[in-house]
Amino acid sequence: QVQLVESGGGLVQAGGSLRLSCAASGSIVSINGMGWYRQAPGKQRELVAAIVSGGRPKYSNSVKGRFTISRDNAKNTVYLQMNSLKPEDTAVYYCAAALLQMDHDWDDYWGQGTQVTVSS
């Protein structure tokens, strides 16, 4: 069974930084894309950043220049470095991966979410 486990969320003051990590484990054959989404109270879940194997990272306009997504393929781990945080970045951040599990088809998997709170 595949699991995505996030870590690194917390409370930070505006202007501060946090680094999120998400490790995928289980009977993984291959991972294509990995990314981060977030959902603020009362709002829809939105894409923050994503990175596809062999491709260039993409970012939402609201985080471009402040957040950096990176990936360690050997560890099946994706990171999100968040700098210059703003109160509007407050949300639950979810990791997602498009991967191939042994004896399964390609599918999307989600982590449980990690809270990021930015105080003004």
Q: What is the pLDDT of residues 71-109, one digit of tens each?
A: 999 999 999 999 999 999 999 999 999 999 999 999 999
Query: What is the SS3 assignment for 112?
Result: coil
- What's the distance, CA 25 to chain centroid? 15
Across the chain, mean pLDDT equals: 96
Please name the residue that has the structure tokens 């979810």.
Answer: 94
User: Quick one: pLDDT at residue 53?
Assistant: 84
- DSSP state at residue 84: S
Q: What percent of the chain has pLDDT over 70?
A: 100
Residue 11 confidence (pLDDT) above 90: yes
At 55, is the pLDDT very low, low, confident or very high (cuts 50, 70, 90)? confident
Average pLDDT over residues 53-62: 92
Distance of alpha carbon 67 from alpha carbon 58, whole angstroms:
10
User: Quick one: pLDDT at residue 54?
Assistant: 82
Q: How far is residue 71 from each of residues 20, 62, 78, 118, measured CA to CA in Å?
A: 12, 21, 4, 24
User: Quick one: pLDDT at residue 80?
Assistant: 98
User: Quick one: pLDDT at residue 39?
Assistant: 98
Residue 24 confidence (pLDDT) above 90: yes
DSSP output for 17-57: -EEEEEEEESSEEEEEEEEEEEE-TTS--EEEEEEETTS--
